[in-house]
Amino acid sequence: MSGGTCPVTGATREIRGYQAVRLAAKDHEAYSSDLLGDRDVRTFKQLPLEVDPPRHAMYREALQPWFLGTAVAVHDEAFAAIAQRLIDRVTAVGQGEVASEVALPYVMGCLAELYGRPQDLDEWISWGPDVWTAEAYARGEVTAESRAAQRERNFDSPTQRSGATLHAYLDRVLTAAMARAHDGVEPVDVWDELVRLDLGGRAPTIEEANGIANILLAGGRDTVIKLITGIVWHLIRTPADREFLAATPTAHSRAVSEFVRYLSPLHKIERLETTPSDGCPVGGDHDAHVLLNFASANHDPTAWEHPGVIDIHRPRQPHLGFGFGRHSCLGMNVAEREAKAFLRVLLANWPSWELASEPEIEWVEEGEMTFLASFESVPVTVDTRRPEPSGE
């Protein structure tokens, strides 16, 4: 950089705004995904997320059949039944907390159904919303600072993050699945199928199996929990939207799309800048990592009118809540169908929930934009004041 100063290590650059993020997400040559994320808690890459084409295509094509809309749709009624049980439980008790008592067990219940692992449900719930803070969650020690460090990919900051819980679980289940495969036992769940995937005529190595399994449990966990919590939070606060969606099932898909846009569950993702646009050399004092800021894209006022408002009547256009380009979220169909099943059940017989107190929400200000970063707590109570039948 002639006459300028190159950023020091750790000063990670961000790409912001709707068009800029879309362009960068598509350009894998300039912004490579061939990196190790979560470097503080794991030593292997999440696959296919952290490799570039053409290698990326091999993994994605092997996994794609599990996540096609038609494959996920067969679980719709099971998803709805899980939602109904959780909603009924809170209603029967008369109060509850949406994030931990509804959204977390709902998302984990859907994964247990989808992956054929009902025996793991209680264990997965015990990890909390983020696998990397499972031990801290069990001790009640997860902090806003640790979540902020994760969002900013600031792995030098002290946090409660650890991969011990997830890695111990994966070591146990993948070892058992490989033993069953060796013995010729028919596959019965996701781990049996994973270790027998066809990757160009061979089975996955143990490192590849860990990389795939890792993203199956870590990816789409806290993000969908935030989405489900956000749907309840908004509908309690906005009776007009609740009534419209209850009367207009055809609007559910558009509404879920708007919830994803506004909440932007995946705030940022890392890339490696292969040819830095600032003119600084890669390596040395220059941090080649860049962050694609999906939240800024989804709140860009040049792309969205009043982006800081949830508008379920907004004309639909592609958001970046599930990423963009070749590395768009593999589990997008799962997240959308989970959200729509939950929304359908919630609206079919609104459980008369009201906010018991002001929700605890972490907001982040970035320049002129404000994002909802996370829900700490959304406590609800059941309104027992029922309207009298009209008799008509």
Residue 284 binned pLDDT confidence (cut-offs 50, 70, 90): very low
- Helix (H) and strand (E) counts in the chain: 17, 9
pLDDT digit string, tens, across residues 228-264 = 999 999 999 999 999 999 999 999 999 999 999 999 9
Residue 349 binned pLDDT confidence (cut-offs 50, 70, 90): confident
89-94 average pLDDT score: 96
How far, CA to CA in Å, does 359 sit from each of 143, 200, 242, 354? 16, 50, 19, 11
- Give the contacts of 210 (CB within 8 A, at least 6 positions apart): 44, 167, 170, 174
pLDDT digit string, tens, across residues 143-162 = 666 666 666 656 565 568 89
| pTM: predicted TM-score of the whole model, two decimal places | 0.91
**pLDDT for 74:** 97
Closest CA to 256 of 334, 325, 337, 330: 337
Domain boundaries, given as residue ranges, for the chain: 33-269+305-382
**pLDDT for 12:** 77
pLDDT digit string, tens, across residues 191-233 = 999 999 999 999 999 999 999 999 999 988 999 999 999 999 9
* Among 2-6, 173-177, 351-355, the least confident range: 2-6
pLDDT digit string, tens, across residues 12-56 = 789 999 999 999 999 999 999 999 999 999 999 999 999 999 999
User: What angle, 0 to 180 degrees and rounded to 10, lies between the N-to-C axes of helices 332-348 and 239-247?
Assistant: 100
pLDDT digit string, tens, across residues 303-338 = 999 999 999 999 889 999 999 988 899 999 999 999
pLDDT digit string, tens, across residues 98-149 = 999 999 999 999 999 999 999 999 999 999 999 999 999 999 887 666 666 6
Residue 316 near residue 49 (C-beta atoms within 8 A): no
Q: Which two tokens stand for residue 56?
A: 């990326």
Residue 269 confidence (pLDDT) above 90: yes
* Among 7-16, 32-41, 72-81, the least confident range: 7-16
Q: Residue 94's Cα: distance from chain center in Å? A: 29
**pLDDT for 34:** 95
CATH topology of domain 33-269+305-382: Cytochrome p450 (1.10.630)
pLDDT digit string, tens, across residues 332-346 = 999 999 999 999 999
Residue 279 confidence (pLDDT) above 60: no
Q: Are strands 289-293 and 369-377 parallel, antiparallel or unpaired?
A: unpaired
